[in-house]
Amino acid sequence: MAPMTREVGVNRSSGGNDIGGGEKATRVRIGRIDGDGIGHEVVPAAVAVVESAAAAIGGVEIDWVPLVIGHDAIERFDTPLPDATLDALTELDAWILGPHDNVSYPERFRDTPAPGGAIRKRFGLYANVRPARAFEHVRATVPGMDLVIVRENSEGLYADRNMARGSGEFMPTADVALAVGVVTRAATERIARVAFALARKRRRRVTIVHKANVLAMTTGLFLHVCREVAADYPDVQVDDEHVDAMAALLVRRGGDFDVVVTENLFGDILSDLAGELSGSLGTAPSINASGTQVMAQAAHGAAPDIAGHNRANPTAIMLSAAMMLDHLALARGDRRLAEVAARVERAVRETISSGVATADLGGGASTGEFTETVCARARRW
């Protein structure tokens, strides 16, 4: 999984114990938040695969810190996002966040931000990196797709992230609703640098997605600043597309794109589209990162209709965990974490390529059977 740039790397000390020859063991504390619905099945599956890969590498000690959001948190703390969870995350470099099902929360919580969005805002996780890569032997609309959408995650038209206090949506009358969209030079420049640095590790091409022909001041500023940043990366080819045209191009020739950088709402929509075009949203991973922390979070939802039936596909959260570890490895210069990440990703891909897959990918494996096979492959090499 392609790592993020050092410019958003985690800078905390990894600690460690001497494991012989003067080399210290890699030690890391990672939050584990199962969330709602199928999160209780897929997050433990991701933890199991990471543990299998770490054991095979040796010299990697992971302290998993269990935390709660959603229905579990409502039952224990009478809130879907308790202060105890937020306080614990403050002390962690990384965590895995399972899906939330906020539409099913009690009525009194309907107007509160969803836990995932609230966590992203609280910790300034401004870079949302979402790969979309086709799998061998998985039917895909665009079989050759292998791109990464880099989404600015802190502003745009999202009502919970565009005001210092309160919501960015408001109704002056019962029949009129308004929304505020925010694009700033600072946020655009930092996300553009993430995209261009990532492109240097891939095929050296960045596509800027905007709607400057209509939203001339907001997405026009986004386009202009991204073009300015491009001048610092002369070895990277750059072009741009209107968001509506980009949606059509992803369907028509999605395999031609490398790194796509765009604002918040456009990135949310296009990354879901790309995930489906590459095979399934159930295989679409992502991380959300700041300069100090990183969160693994699959692109899919809580799927309450299949929760508890051992049918959920844990691929996306497994690959998200691999991205998270790769991000930590790059920030710390830690080869072992990079090896664990590579081993997890390879085990997932080779398992699916071998024909072992869950029902949504056309296979017959249960969540448990798929996880056991991936774990065995992660230990094997």
Active site (catalytic) residues: 158, 211, 244, 268, 272
Local structure of 371: helix, strand or coil: helix
Q: Which amino acid is at 156?
A: G
* CA dist list (Å): 78 to 73, 296, 360: 7, 25, 35
Local structure of 126: helix, strand or coil: coil
Whether the Cβ atoms of residue 193 and residue 206 lie closer than 8 Å to each other: no
Whether the Cβ atoms of residue 356 and residue 365 lie closer than 8 Å to each other: yes
Maximum Cα interatomic distance, the chain, rounded to a whole number of Å: 71
Strand partners of residue 287: 129, 296
Minimal CA–CA distance to 256: which of 331, 145, 340? 145
Q: DSSP assignment, residue 357?
A: -
